[in-house]
């Protein structure tokens, strides 16, 4: 077990390193630099050179990388060239918003997909099953950038049930926070519901054909109990795996949602930073996001070893 | 009788990897859609169904309109007619106009070009480059394969949305550039799909048989393996097309796709939600949203039915 | 957490009187038919089977794969898929008609009064649930034990089936055990609530020969201890030769011969039975003796042939066999039935007698048992 963990941690470290290099290169190899933004279009070449020197941007790339990485290890991600807000601060205020959105969307997705799959897997090809399966196509055709505006049009502007913009931190006012988060959270949910439902249903149907289910029936166990304790358990593994990947990809959707709802999340910040060539902000956010995803995968791997007895005991 | 329960815990960036920014990743979608439905009776030949044909019809309609856009009797999409602001649907303007007096139908039709071109062309790039690499890699194996496979893992572990945002913002927002960027982005995914598919065939007996008959590797790849890999690649490709269209739409929504005033469905929707237009004239947002929804729905349906027909196995991934 | 209390509508709780009268059969099956609707037609897997089992005895059901023996076992229990299955006939178990019981009532019978040992322990045990739990869930369901009691009982059960260090193994998963051990666990699970009837479906297929004997011995020992009835389904006549009190031979969904074991071997009537016996390799045979297989293939159960179903493969086939289906008739002893127009006489192979319609001294052409 320990060996397995160590191996994974080593992989984590290597990938993190590679990602940090990629992030850095991405930002620095593209044309343009912050000087035009900071000093304005009419800046003289001399002023620009000065600024470049000041910001340390005319040092050789590997040197800049070294400085940056060194700072990162000391917990200093730099600051925005324009606003001088520390990158760390941007991240700590923005990250929770995105995390909360993701949590809400996934909780709702599981809450809908799991019961629905449990019911339809037992009676495949019946009306409820057919409707649900067709419904998943509809859900998959409603990505956040379609669903969010529709929600706003109907529920915010039309019915005035929810606000179209704004965000109140959870610590400040939990009730308002959750209330305001409903529309943006739900806008992220559609695709997840479809994927989790289809996967679970497919998995359950196959599991239900297994001998051990017949055996469980022969013991006199009720259908409900069999479904829940015997059939569902092996399926949780594939759900776990897909959840990991799915969450990673929710990122872009999250960005769009916070953008539309004018929440000050990471998506908002990074789009602006990219347009302003705010290197350190872009690097910092990208690095953190990439690492978060990698760590998430790592955690899911780990959960696998805990939850599935077959993995480490072979 | 029953096989051992094979458990493959996901590694970092697992076989399910595919962080396709913007929407549920194609591989997860494929796992959801691409998996053969165990409740299907494989023996029964299911008819393609009316839904399938509606889907085909819609895609065809959109495509034809996009191609023939210049020939259609439409007002220019950027022409602003201040005497007809925010009108509802009428004879002159079948879908109405927006707040600058531009004909919505025209904007949607011209906007569809962006979605279609970006969608299909970028997947084309992905299949061409990534697919070829995958075919070779899966067949040859060895160091080449290990290197490329590892590379695709790492690339897919990177939050693609950020890369795409950065590159688009820095490089330029034209249709061709965006197509290339997204095209390059689909390469790792296509690589993995084709590679997995190739691997599952490369070890089979009929390939061995061809070898013993003296067939060269090239011949084997083209004659034996490629025909078997094509159905999976096509089906997956379709799903990826949907994914790219969504991605472009998302980027457009953020203002990072083709620059306004050139219409694209994404920025039409973005326009429709800004400046309080939702209250005044929600149709500006609604029409392109509906069109996009129907297009995505159709592509997914077509991909699914094709998959059913050719019985593509999810285990490939 | 008993599932008995879970139902909203209380179905009648079944009573199972303590059957002390040995003469009364525990299980009586009459004219059982079980067919499956498939894309290619209706498969008549069990096509009119009648039998009975007394308390504490073992009935062996022998047949090739495809003969319908597994379906028979499941049909007797009622463990069939809910769709596309047609079942008719009667299955009387301790006075209850199994075919008309509601699902909730069937669940009272399953596990507690009647249980099944499945063929492949690797697939029949849930791979992600601990062994102990797979035993205790039925203990807690039927016998209303609490967790502690159930665990102790489970440990004892494992010990009684010969699993060493049961206190430890109770927390193990199936894949950690060997094939023989897993089958022992299966037996423990089937016997947990001391059912009156156990249906063992090919319990030793896939196991090493030495382990096979151990498992069968175990089953026999448990049976004697608890005075259970056992239906032992197998394709191997050798398996039931020493361990069954009565043997029923199945072919193409029907019983073609049934007799107490000794009688079956001494006075075999049906050529198919004889062929099965001949195909068992014997240690006493000189080395190099050819293995006798029965030529041909089992018949199509969707469109069974006219006449005797074994006719295409029977070495003594006559025209009458191909035209008319032989009914089940009683032989000299009333507990021996067979279905053949030209039965073997005195166990001597290859000497058929045309019985025709005239009564033959030692054979009574009575109407088949209803």
Are residues B4 and C122, on separate chains, in Cβ contact within 8 Å?
Answer: yes
pLDDT at B10 over 60: no
Displacement of CA A113 from its chain's centroid (Å): 19
Q: Which residue of A has its CA nearest to B166?
A: A274
Burial class of residue A18 (count of CB atoms within 10 Å of its CB; 0-12, 13-18, 19+): middle
pLDDT at B196 over 90: no
| CB < 8 Å to C201, chain A | none
| CB < 8 Å to B2, chain C | 120, 122-123
Q: What is the DSSP string of A222-234?
A: -HHHIIIIIIHHH
Q: Which residue of B has its CA nearest to A188?
A: B23
pLDDT (average), residues B96-120: 86
What does the alpha-carbon distance between residue A31 and residue C312 come to, in Å, rounded to a whole number?
85
User: What pLDDT score does B28 carry?
Assistant: 47
Are residues C122 and B41, on separate chains, in Cβ contact within 8 Å?
Answer: no
User: pLDDT: is C146 or C334 the higher one?
Assistant: C146
Which residues neighbour B79 within 8 Å (Cβ) at sequence distance 6 or greater?
B101, B102, B103
pLDDT (average), residues C333-355: 66
Phi first, then psi: what are they for C49, rounded to 5°? -115, 135
Separation in Å, CA of A206 to nearest CA in chain B = 6
| CB < 8 Å to B254, chain A | 255-256, 259, 271
User: What pLDDT score does A311 carry?
Assistant: 57
Q: What percent of chain A has pLDDT over 90?
A: 6
What does the alpha-carbon distance between residue C163 and residue C182 come to, in Å, rounded to a whole number?
10
Measure CB to CB from residue C39 to each of B1, B4, B41 and give the nearest one.
B41
- Band of pLDDT at residue A18, cut at 50, 70 and 90: confident
What does the alpha-carbon distance between residue C50 and residue B60 come to, in Å, rounded to a whole number?
64
Cβ–Cβ contacts within 10 Å for residue C206, how many?
A: 15
Measure CB to CB from residue C110 to each of A219, A230, A309 and give the nearest one.
A219
Least confident of A161-175, B32-46, C102-116: B32-46
Least confident of A66-80, B19-33, C138-152, C157-171: B19-33
Is A303 at the interface with chain B, CB within 8 A? Answer: no
Query: Mean pLDDT score of chain A, rounded to an integer?
Result: 81
Least confident of A87-91, A101-105, B8-12, B303-307: B8-12
Burial class of residue C8 (count of CB atoms within 10 Å of its CB; 0-12, 13-18, 19+): exposed
- Band of pLDDT at residue A106, cut at 50, 70 and 90: very high
Measure CB to CB from residue C123 to each of B2, B43, B44 and give the nearest one.
B2
Least confident of A74-83, A135-144, C74-83: A74-83
Beta bridge partners of C199: C116, C231
Q: B161 near A252, Cβ under 8 Å? A: yes
Cβ–Cβ contacts within 10 Å for residue A182, how many?
A: 16
- Band of pLDDT at residue C152, cut at 50, 70 and 90: very high
User: What pLDDT score does C270 carry?
Assistant: 85
Separation in Å, CA of C358 to nearest CA in chain B = 49
Model confidence pLDDT, tens digit, residues B139-150? 777 788 888 877
pLDDT (average), residues C8-25: 60
Q: Is the dihedral of CA B90, B91, B92, B95 positive or negative?
A: positive
Q: Can you read off the two tokens belonging to residue A24?
A: 């850095």
pLDDT at A90 over 90: no
Query: Mean pLDDT score of chain C, rounded to an integer?
Result: 81
User: What pLDDT score does C365 carry?
Assistant: 40
Which residues neighbour A80 within 8 Å (Cβ) at sequence distance 6 or greater?
A86, A87, A90, A273, A278, A280, A281
Are residues B1 and C39, on separate chains, in Cβ contact within 8 Å?
Answer: no
Least confident of B13-17, B79-83, C104-108, C228-232: B13-17
pLDDT at C276 over 90: no
DSSP label at residue B97: B
pLDDT at C163 over 50: yes
Phi first, then psi: what are they for A261, rounded to 5°? -90, 10
What does the alpha-carbon distance between residue B253 and residue B244 come to, in Å, rounded to a whole number?
14
What does the alpha-carbon distance between residue B17 and residue A251 come to, in Å, rounded to a whole number?
15
Residue with tokens 């009119």, as numbered in its chain: C48
User: pLDDT: is C141 or A23 the higher one?
Assistant: C141
pLDDT (average), residues A165-172: 74
User: What pLDDT score does C239 carry?
Assistant: 84
Q: C233, C228, C134, C144: which is closest to C186 by C-alpha?
A: C134
pLDDT (average), residues C309-325: 81
DSSP label at residue C43: E
pLDDT at B197 over 70: yes
Q: Can you read off the two tokens belonging to residue B144?
A: 């080449």
Q: Can you read off the two tokens belonging to residue A38?
A: 């900071």
Measure CB to CB from residue B44 to each of C39, C120, C127 and give the nearest one.
C39
- Nearest 5°: the CA angle A44, A49, A50 is 100
- Band of pLDDT at residue C359, cut at 50, 70 and 90: very low
pLDDT at A268 over 70: yes
- β C41-54/C25-38 pair status: antiparallel
Model confidence pLDDT, tens digit, residues A276-289? 778 788 888 888 88
Q: A125, A142, A149: which is closest to A195 by C-alpha?
A: A142
pLDDT (average), residues C231-240: 88
pLDDT (average), residues A176-193: 86
Q: C212, C210, C225, C209: which is closest to C184 by C-alpha?
A: C212
Are residues C6 and A212, on separate chains, in Cβ contact within 8 Å?
Answer: no
Q: Can you read off the two tokens belonging to residue C202?
A: 């090919």
Q: B31 near B317, Cβ under 8 Å? A: yes
pLDDT at C116 over 80: yes
User: What pLDDT score does C29 carry?
Assistant: 92
- Band of pLDDT at residue A252, cut at 50, 70 and 90: confident
Are residues B7 and A308, on separate chains, in Cβ contact within 8 Å?
Answer: yes
Range 61-120 of A in CB contact (< 8 A) with B: none
CATH number for the domain whose boundaries are C26-106+224-281+293-370: 3.40.50.300
Q: What percent of chain C has pLDDT over 70?
A: 85
Measure CB to CB from residue A309 to each of C125, C137, C173 and give the nearest one.
C173
Which residues neighbour A275 within 8 Å (Cβ) at sequence distance 6 or greater?
B169
Which site among C39, C40, C129 would you substitute to test the B interface, given the most B Cβ atoms closer than 10 Å to its Cβ? C39
What ipTM does this complex have? 0.80
Domain boundaries, chain C: 26-106+224-281+293-370
Q: What percent of chain B has pLDDT over 90?
A: 8
Is C268 at the interface with chain A, CB within 8 A? Answer: no
Are residues C122 and B2, on separate chains, in Cβ contact within 8 Å?
Answer: yes
pLDDT at A310 over 70: no
Least confident of B32-41, B44-53, C30-39: B32-41
pLDDT at C362 over 70: no
User: What pLDDT score does C346 carry?
Assistant: 62
Q: B72 near B65, Cβ under 8 Å? A: yes
Phi first, then psi: what are they for C34, rounded to 5°? -140, 120
Least confident of B11-15, C35-39, C130-134, C287-291: B11-15
Q: How far is CA A54 from CA A31, A58, A59, A81, C206, in A?
A: 19, 9, 10, 11, 78
pLDDT at A264 over 50: yes
Phi-psi region of A124 (alpha: psi -120 to 50; beta: other; left: phi over 0): beta
Q: A137 near B304, Cβ under 8 Å? A: yes
User: What pLDDT score does C17 carry?
Assistant: 66
User: What pLDDT score does C290 carry?
Assistant: 67
Which site among B4, B6, B45 would you substitute to test the C interface, given the most C Cβ atoms closer than 10 Å to its Cβ? B4
Model confidence pLDDT, tens digit, residues C84-93? 888 999 999 9
């Amino acid at each position: 077990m320990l060996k397995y963990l160590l191996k994974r941690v080593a992989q984590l470290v290597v990938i993190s390193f590679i990602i940090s290099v990629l992030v850095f290169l991405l930002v620095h190899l593209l044309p343009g630099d912050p000087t035009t933004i900071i000093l304005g279009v009419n800046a003289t070449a001399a002023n620009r050179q000065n600024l470049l020197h000041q910001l340390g941007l005319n040092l050789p790339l590997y040197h800049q990388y070294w400085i940056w990485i060194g700072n990162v290890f000391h917990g200093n991600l730099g600051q925005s060239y324009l606003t001088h807000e520390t990158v760390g601060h941007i991240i700590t205020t923005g990250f929770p918003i995105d995390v909360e959105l993701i949590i809400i969307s996934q909780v709702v997705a599981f809450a809908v997909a799991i019961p629905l799959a449990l019911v339809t897997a037992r009676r495949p090809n019946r009306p409820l099953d057919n409707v649900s399966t067709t419904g998943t196509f509809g859900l998959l055709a409603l990505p956040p950038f379609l669903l969010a505006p529709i929600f706003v049009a109907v529920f915010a502007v039309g019915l005035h049930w929810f606000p179209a913009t704004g965000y109140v931190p959870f610590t400040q006012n939990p009730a308002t926070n959750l209330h305001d988060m409903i529309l943006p959270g739900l806008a992220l949910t559609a695709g997840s519901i479809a994927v989790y439902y289809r996967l679970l249903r497919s998995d359950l149907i196959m599991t239900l054909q297994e001998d051990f289910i017949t055996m469980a029936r022969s013991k006199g166990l009720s259908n409900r109990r069999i479904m829940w304790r015997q059939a569902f358990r092996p399926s949780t593994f594939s759900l776990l795996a897909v959840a990991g990947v799915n969450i990673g990809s929710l990122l872009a959707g999250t960005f769009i949602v916070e953008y539309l709802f004018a929440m000050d999340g990471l998506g908002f910040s990074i789009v602006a930073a990219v347009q302003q060539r705010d290197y350190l902000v872009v690097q910092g956010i990208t690095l953190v996001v990439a690492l978060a995803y990698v760590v998430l995968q790592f955690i899911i791997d780990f959960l696998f070893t805990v939850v599935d007895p077959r993995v480490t005991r072979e | 009788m029953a096989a051992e329960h094979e458990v493959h815990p996901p590694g970092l960036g697992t076989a399910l990897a595919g962080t396709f920014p913007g929407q549920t990743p194609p591989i997860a979608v494929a796992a959801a859609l691409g998996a053969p439905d165990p409740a299907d009776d494989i023996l029964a030949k299911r008819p393609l169904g009316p839904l399938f044909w509606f889907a085909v019809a819609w895609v065809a309609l959109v495509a034809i309109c996009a191609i023939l856009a210049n020939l259609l009797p439409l007002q220019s999409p950027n022409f602003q007619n201040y005497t007809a602001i925010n009108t509802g649907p009428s004879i002159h303007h079948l879908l109405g106009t927006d707040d600058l007096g531009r004909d919505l139908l025209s904007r949607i039709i011209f906007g569809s070009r962006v979605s279609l071109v970006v969608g299909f062309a970028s997947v084309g790039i992905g299949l061409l480059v990534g697919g070829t690499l995958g075919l070779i890699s899966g067949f040859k194996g060895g160091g080449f394969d290990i290197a490329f496979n590892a590379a695709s893992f790492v690339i897919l572990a990177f939050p693609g949305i950020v890369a795409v945002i950065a590159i688009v913002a820095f490089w330029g927002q034209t249709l061709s550039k965006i197509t290339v960027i997204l095209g390059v982005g689909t390469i790792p995914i296509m690589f993995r799909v084709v590679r997995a598919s190739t691997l599952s065939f490369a070890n089979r007996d009929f390939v061995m048989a061809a070898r013993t008959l003296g067939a060269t590797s090239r011949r084997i790849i083209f004659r034996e393996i490629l025909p078997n890999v094509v159905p999976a690649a096509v089906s997956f490709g379709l799903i990826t097309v949907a994914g790219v269209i969504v991605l472009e739409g998302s980027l457009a929504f953020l203002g990072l796709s083709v620059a306004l005033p050139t219409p694209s469905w994404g920025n039409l929707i973005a326009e429709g939600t800004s400046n309080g237009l939702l209250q005044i004239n929600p149709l500006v947002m609604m029409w392109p949203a509906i069109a996009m929804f129907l297009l995505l729905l159709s592509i997914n349906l077509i991909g699914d039915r094709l998959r059913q027909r050719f019985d593509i196995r999810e285990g490939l991934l | 957490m008993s599932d008995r209390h879970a139902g909203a509508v209380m179905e009648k709780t079944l009573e199972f009187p303590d059957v002390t009268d040995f003469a009364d059969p525990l299980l009586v099956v009459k004219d059982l038919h079980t067919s499956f609707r498939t894309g290619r037609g209706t498969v008549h897997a069990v096509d009119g089977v009648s039998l009975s089992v007394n308390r504490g005895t073992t009935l062996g059901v022998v047949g090739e794969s495809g003969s319908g023996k597994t379906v028979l076992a499941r049909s007797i229990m009622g463990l069939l898929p809910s769709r596309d299955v047609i079942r008719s006939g009667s299955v009387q178990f301790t006075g209850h008609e199994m075919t008309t019981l509601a699902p909730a009532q069937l669940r009272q019978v399953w596990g507690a009064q009647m249980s099944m040992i499945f063929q492949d322990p690797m697939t029949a045990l849930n791979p992600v649930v601990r062994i102990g739990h797979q035993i205790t869930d039925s203990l807690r369901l039927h016998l209303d034990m609490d967790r502690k009691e159930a665990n102790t009982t489970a440990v004892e059960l494992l010990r009684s089936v010969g699993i060493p260090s049961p206190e430890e193994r109770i927390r193990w998963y199936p894949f950690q055990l060997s094939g023989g051990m897993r089958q022992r666990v299966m037996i423990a699970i089937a016997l947990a609530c001391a059912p009156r009837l156990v249906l063992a479906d090919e319990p030793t297929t896939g196991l090493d020969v030495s382990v096979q004997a151990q498992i069968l011995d175990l089953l026999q020992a448990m049976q004697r201890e608890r005075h259970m009835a056992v239906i032992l389904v197998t394709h191997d006549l050798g398996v039931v030769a020493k361990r069954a009190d009565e043997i029923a031979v199945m072919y193409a969904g029907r019983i073609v011969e049934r007799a107490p074991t000794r009688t079956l071997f001494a006075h075999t009537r049906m050529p198919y039975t004889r062929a099965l016996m001949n195909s068992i390799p014997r240690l006493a045979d000189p080395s190099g003796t050819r293995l006798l297989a029965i030529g041909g293939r089992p018949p199509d159960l969707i469109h069974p042939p006219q006449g005797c179903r074994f006719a295409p493969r029977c070495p003594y086939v006559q025209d009458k066999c191909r035209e008319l289906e032989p009914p089940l008739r009683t032989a000299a002893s009333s507990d021996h039935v067979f279905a053949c127009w030209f039965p073997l006489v005195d166990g001597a192979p290859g000497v058929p007698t045309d019985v025709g319609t005239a009564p033959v001294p030692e054979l009574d052409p009575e109407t088949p048992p209803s």
